[in-house]
Structure 1
């Protein structure tokens, strides 16, 4: 017993010594009682090793670089974990092997409970479910979306009871309800519509001028502050029509200001779950890498090349495709396709642009057929000689929603399909992947938020490999995209305690 204790202490000392080489010197001794200065980041890494715990924390609750005084003799005492982090503004909950560190409710407010509003959004005429409906609390950051069946589950703080819950979808009249005081199941019917405008207005729309204005007004229409986004990310892989891998995760994203294009998004993995129908994929090990990292950057306003740049030659030509409605406001539908498609990678699709603010509301685009033939080296990172791979479909959808006079990223979805031929076995296989990022909450920050480098989700990471033991108690506090029936059955096979 004594030997194990000595070994654990030795590991701790080594860990602290190694970590100190990656941070500014912060191990000064406290003359009062043998305590040391240690950053929250170092402390979390140390406690992970000693107790085998996972930590999930709100980046606005604690600054990972902040330094505290702590006695190393207390690190091996699991009962002291709460005391290291908790204060007047921070609370700590330990659920199983998960330590959750978050912001504490104000003393003059009761601890808010959760109201769960669930149900289905349907077309009022056909009664068919409507996928991808934007659902959000008016004037607040909280939001979610319907799944492919039109189903949703939305967890809302009880303090928002009585406020307006809005439903918006392209091609439908927006609608809303008052948030009930108790858990409620509802069905929302949305009426489709068509917008008629006088011919003089229709013919006066210059699509090139519209998209130039989107670019020119981008700094006014999007945040000039750093923002901390909470997101739900799901990626699925089907082989020949059957799910072979499903991964879901809660992530945090530091979104830089839109006037700092050179500064990249940072992503931190918080918690996840996964499932599969088969023990292994047939023929080939097909993996997606970098999903949350790349999708956090699929922000057309910050990182896209579909808008004309004054200093560059125009690569796309634009067309006016009519009007529609989103968020109760008329939007322009502006189509685009490449001027030339002989080399490089190009896309074609349609933008929806708010007619008043000229902010991008959404953009739906796919890789052109000629570009798909040239895309193999970009989309396929590693490929054994035994297999011949051919991407044949790549489509993306990016959505924004209004908040306090600006537009905020709300949803990113990507679909990729690849044909694989096994030269040895003379067999063909089709892989279809769908990845989706839903921003469920966000908050502007007055300063830059830093995640510890050790917690970054990096481009080479596979989400499925990052997911460990599933904790349903942790998962139930987050808003997610409800799985459809087929997905639900796959996840329950892997996580039977749900």
Structure 2
């Protein structure tokens, strides 16, 4: 099982940069901004990872862990509508002009029953998955695409924010019909790190945006479902649900009892009409501390024992003009750190997420320059620094920060001034 690109680097060298990497100047563009919160119509609970898309465009964003969103819309699209959707809920469409500055959007749960005959089209859940993987050339985008994406990674020592890195990147997305790897270009980035919260241990995510891009199971099945590895899993059908008012199959998967190496378990959501993977939520089995540690830890001090206690992944796809495309992914990793001779241990949580906020079909050459291109071994925190430019993100759509992150940024900015 190969999982080399979902890796964490632990180092003791403490580097602190103050300043701002400003790679591109932005051209001012007139736009309007709408903010809001998406909730369950009955319980009023916040809906996390809900999609917000401007109709007849590729502009979009996603809700944060509080169900909140912010969407910047060019004036030229002010008369358009916005669609709000979430796994297991009915899609809702509203005019931009009908939305307030801080709207509360309620979505109604969708109840779906897939006919038994429909499920019997496939002799078992594994056969359905195989068809989905083989079907990628037919239902996923097969043109070169240039995607604008927002990427964020945060590191917490227990509940305290210790490091924040954010970037606007462009993904040079290869067609799903070929096996060429995608490329990522860094457009703008920023970071801030409070090393006092890291207990002399600096955690860094190697791969940065690539780690999230490789959760695209359809483009990169080799990181979870190789032809050899599929035989190591058990698959079963679960209760069906809906995505964008369309019924989807739900497949449960987990490693077979006799398999000792760490594999994944979770759910796959497959569109019943196109057989496209629409969503996937899965975790790594971290019961074997030694083997699961080897999958993530690239470098650490000799007297430190580090092992993962949680590794959760999510990937969402979106359809446009009848073709599916990678839209969002989230990685949540929790590690326990034991220092030799110390009574208490430390718990670190690393979360990274990337959302496609706009994209367009590009010419066949795709990549025109290698300047500012990131490598799969990139550590984004080493590429960026500071929170100094108040107009940093300009017209770019981002994922609305959680209140705790906003507070941490302000606190770290004050610390920088005192320093």
TM bucket, shorter chain: 0.7 to 0.9
Q: Aligned ranges for residues 218-367 of structure 1 at < 5 Å?
A: 218-261=136-179, 263-276=180-193, 279-305=196-222, 306-307=224-225, 309=227, 314-339=231-256, 342-367=259-284
Residue of 405, 426, 436 corresponding to 2:322: 405
- For residue 9 of structure 2, what is the aligned residue in structure 1? none
Q: Per the alignment, in what secondary structure is the counterpart of residue 170 of structure 1? A: coil
- For residue 305 of structure 2, what is the aligned residue in structure 1? 388
Q: Which moved more, 1:434-443 or 1:342-351?
A: 342-351
Q: Once superposed, what is the RMSD of the aligned Cα atoms?
A: 2.6
Q: Which moved more, 1:138-147 or 1:206-215?
A: 206-215
Offset at residue 254 of structure 1 (A) = 0.8
Q: Per the alignment, in what secondary structure is the counterpart of residue 421 of structure 1? A: strand
* TM-score normalised by structure 2 residue count: 0.86
Residue of 427, 438, 443 corresponding to 2:355: 438
Offset at residue 322 of structure 1 (A) = 1.9
Q: Aligned ranges for residues 170-185 of structure 1 at < 5 Å?
A: 170-180=87-97, 184-185=101-102
Alignment CA distance shift 1:450-1:201 (3 Å): closer
Alignment CA distance shift 1:341-1:405 (3 Å): farther
Alignment CA distance shift 1:200-1:357 (3 Å): closer
Residue of 404, 411, 414 corresponding to 1:486: 404
Bigger-Rg structure (1/2): 1
Q: Per the alignment, in what secondary structure is the counterpart of residue 473 of structure 1? A: coil
CA distance in 2, matches of 1:420, 1:395: 19
Alignment CA distance shift 1:181-1:241 (3 Å): closer
Kindly indicate whether residue 35 of structure 2 is the aligned counterpart of residue 118 of structure 1.
Answer: yes
- Contact 1:236-1:245 at 8 Å conserved across structures: yes
- Counting helix residues as a fraction of each chain, which structure ranks higher? 1
**Cα distance per residue 1:154-208 (max 9 Å; x no partner):** 0112222232211111122211101228973311011223223445545665322
Which stretches in structure 1 are left out of the alignment for 5+ residues? 1-51, 57-98, 103-110
Q: How many residues are matched?
A: 393
Alignment CA distance shift 1:278-1:307 (3 Å): closer
- Contact 1:308-1:315 at 8 Å conserved across structures: no
Q: Per the alignment, in what secondary structure is the counterpart of residue 381 of structure 1? A: coil
Offset at residue 112 of structure 1 (A) = 6.4
CA distance in 2, matches of 1:457, 1:308: 26
Which stretches in structure 2 are left out of the alignment for 5+ residues? 1-19
- For residue 55 of structure 1, what is the aligned residue in structure 2? 23
- Answer 1 or 2: higher relative contact order, Cα 8 Å, separation at least 6: 2
* TM-score normalised by structure 1 residue count: 0.73
Alignment CA distance shift 1:411-1:318 (3 Å): same
Offset at residue 444 of structure 1 (A) = 1.3
- For residue 12 of structure 2, what is the aligned residue in structure 1? none
- For residue 161 of structure 1, what is the aligned residue in structure 2? 78
Residue of 113, 129, 132 corresponding to 1:211: 129
